[in-house]
Structure 1
Amino acid sequence: MKKIKKKSIKLVTHDGSFHADDIFAAATLSIMLSNKGETFEIIRTRDQKIINNADYVFDLGRIYKENLNRFDHHQTGGAGEREGIPYSSFGLVWKKFGGEITGNKKITDIIERKLVMPVDVNDNGVDLYKNNFPNIFPYTLQDVFAIFSPTAFEDLDKNKQFMEALAWAKEILQREIKKAKDQIEIAKIIRNFFKKTKDKKLIIIDKPKVSRFEIWDALQDFPEPLFVVYGDKEDWSIVAMRKEKNSFGSRKNFPISWGGLSYKDLQKITGVSNAVFCHRALFMAVAKSKEGAVKLAQLAIES
């Protein structure tokens, strides 16, 4: 019996310059279709006949019709917004297919806020933040993908460059999904240590070896913790809890006299024989044992 060749699904977006929103929209659709075992191709064009016959069209066409898989936001009136942030093609595609890819609403929402909305903000020319320093700006995802665009002195194929950027975007999106999934479980573990601790000014996490960023995320909503001790057999760290989620200010700093000291100098001033290091910004310290780390934290709390 002759095997029927599977039709190649056509994903169409505009040619020419590319940006984070169309790259990530393509990444989302690519992951979704790959998960289904579908054969597909990405076409970058403005040929109306090709656009009309496409299975998916994004960032092109001036039409947003989710049921027809048309995901543009350039038409008069745009394509809607959420929380004051207008949708770009990435946001529109993620809105429909994000949950299908993650299989979990909480993960979908995490990616929406962490990755999708910032890309949408940038593409729509909406300010997300205010600069604290003149002529210094954050290096955004748009900046990352802009490096793939040919300069005026380069004779590079933009379609080939788009595909290179797409490979990066797929990896970023898949890693963010994986990290979000794991961080939900890690947050449960960290909060369980918090719940079991009597004096909640100091939380001690024995396992697994978490990161300070996971600690900050998991415990930010609890006002009691000042310091958290965490680590493994080789090194133990103490981190100060942040005042606010997006602030570097701590609820309580390590003593000023510890800042920037290491080994013998830190050991002498603290009396902790295996003290290793205290960050000069006074938010983190390290010791060679759990007991040493706990002692440093207790001294900091009492200071």
Structure 2
Amino acid sequence: MKVATHPGNFHADDVFALAVLGLAAGPVQVVRTRDEAAQAAADVRVDVGGRSDPATGDYDHHQRGGAGARPNGIRFASFGLVWREFGAQLAGSAEAAASIDERLVQGVDANDTGQTISESLVEGVRPMAVSGLIAAMNPVWDEALTPEQEDARFAEAVAFATGILERELAGAAAYARARALVDAALARAEDPRIVELDRNMPWREAVITGAPEALYVIYPKSDGWGIQAVPEALGAFDNRRDLPAAWAGLTGDELAEVTGVPDAVFAHTSRFYASAGSREGILALARLALTGPA
């Protein structure tokens, strides 16, 4: 596949768009040019051409009126346009593609289309996002590169973005596997307030949204068993029920004495996590947390 895009400084939207195409369609030959005839001769045009039409291989957003926006108002840049076409194919489902769009694609698109979607709470501090990482790979103002060197720098950026996308895709697949296992754990729970997993895995969304009675999740670890309190909502730090205040910050013998659980190991000061040496020990802690004072 031959893909045309613009020369000169690159941005995260065109870099990530090329990364998506490379993953979706195999090896990509990139032509960085402003020549309209050369662009027209390519199979696909990204961030150039003034059209947005997947049927003709056009993924640009610089035309008058742009290329549309998502229901939340975030406008499409080239990354979003290409992801909309190929995301579900790469991620394995529309749901997984939408999750990656929310987590990665929309931030890049918003940055490229001039939309502010986050603000620093500390004056003078501007955390670097992925768009900034890509931008930093461009030559600095007084660095003179040949066109070949510029193309090589662009290829380096695309390889970097490809690695990020590959990890996102792997994470989406792993999340889907975990979701099935967590749903099965919810279905077999003897006490709906205690969810037992056979290993630690992403459980919060499934438990928070699908198990309103669940208060604690327990699971084996490399050195024993852990218990975590279920948050009130996704992204929240407040829990449906904290672990008992009397446990907070205790370890070893102190925690064992307070709880009566011989192999109790540790309780976090924030009362969201504790550990024990065995399944029996963690179940005992969970039952105490359910019945004792919070």
User: TM (normalized to structure 2)?
Assistant: 0.87
- Counterpart in the other structure of 2:167: 175
Mean alpha-carbon deviation: is it higher for 95-104 or for 236-245? 95-104
Task: Find the aligned partners of 1:271 and 1:46 in 2 and give their Cα distance.
Answer: 74
- Counterpart in the other structure of 2:247: 258
Q: Measure how far apart 1:115 and its partner are.
A: 2.5
* Structure 1 residue 41 corresponds to structure 2 residue 36: no
Aligned with residue 240 of structure 1, among 216, 229, 232: 229
Task: Find the aligned partners of 1:247 and 1:188 in 2 and give their Cα distance.
Answer: 23
What are the within-5 Å matches in structure 2 for residues 27-66 of structure 1?
A: 27-34=19-26, 39-66=27-54
Contact kept? 2:24, 2:86, Cα under 8 Å? yes
Q: Do the aligned partners of residues 40 and 233 (structure 1) sit closer, same or farther apart at CA in structure 2, a change above 3 Å counting?
A: closer
Task: Find the aligned partners of 1:264 and 1:109 in 2 and give their Cα distance.
Answer: 48
Runs of 5+ unmatched residues, structure 2:
none
What are the within-5 Å matches in structure 2 for residues 30-179 of structure 1?
A: 30-34=22-26, 39-83=27-71, 84-152=73-141, 157-179=149-171
Q: Output the amino acid matched with 1:44.
A: R
Contact kept? 1:279, 1:285, Cα under 8 Å? yes
Aligned with residue 293 of structure 1, among 258, 282, 288: 282
Q: CA RMSD in A?
A: 2.4
Query: Percent identity over the alignment?
Result: 34
Deviations 1:114-152 (A, max 9, x none): 322232223223233454444444442213323323334
Aligned with residue 220 of structure 2, among 209, 231, 253: 231
Mean alpha-carbon deviation: is it higher for 59-68 or for 248-257? 248-257
- Secondary structure of the corresponding residue to residue 203 of structure 2: helix
- Counterpart in the other structure of 2:4: 12
Mean alpha-carbon deviation: is it higher for 189-198 or for 89-98? 189-198
Task: Find the aligned partners of 2:38 and 2:191 in 1 and give their Cα distance.
Answer: 66
Q: Output the amino acid matched with 2:208.
A: Q
Runs of 5+ unmatched residues, structure 1:
1-8
Task: Find the aligned partners of 1:13 and 1:108 in 2 and give their Cα distance.
Answer: 24
How many pairs align? 287
Aligned with residue 185 of structure 1, among 151, 160, 177: 177
Task: Find the aligned partners of 1:160 and 1:263 in 2 and give their Cα distance.
Answer: 56
* Structure 1 residue 216 corresponds to structure 2 residue 204: yes
Deviations 1:76-133 (A, max 9, x none): 2110111122111011111112233344333333323332223222322323345444
Q: Do the aligned partners of residues 15 and 260 (structure 1) sit closer, same or farther apart at CA in structure 2, a change above 3 Å counting?
A: farther
Task: Find the aligned partners of 1:277 and 1:16 in 2 and give their Cα distance.
Answer: 56
* Structure 1 residue 283 corresponds to structure 2 residue 275: no
Q: Output the amino acid matched with 1:274.
A: D
- Secondary structure of the corresponding residue to residue 160 of structure 1: helix
Contact kept? 1:233, 1:289, Cα under 8 Å? no
- Secondary structure of the corresponding residue to residue 86 of structure 1: coil
Contact kept? 1:191, 1:218, Cα under 8 Å? yes
User: TM (normalized to structure 1)?
Assistant: 0.84
Deviations 1:42-83 (A, max 9, x none): 122323332222211111232212211111112221101111
Contact kept? 2:200, 2:221, Cα under 8 Å? no
Q: Measure how far apart 1:154 and its partner are.
A: 5.1
Q: Measure how far apart 1:175 and its partner are.
A: 2.5
Task: Find the aligned partners of 1:154 and 1:271 in 2 and give their Cα distance.
Answer: 67
- Secondary structure of the corresponding residue to residue 11 of structure 1: strand
Aligned with residue 202 of structure 1, among 181, 194, 198: 194
Q: Output the amino acid matched with 1:230.
A: Y
Q: Output the amino acid matched with 1:163.
A: A
Q: Measure how far apart 1:245 and its partner are.
A: 1.1
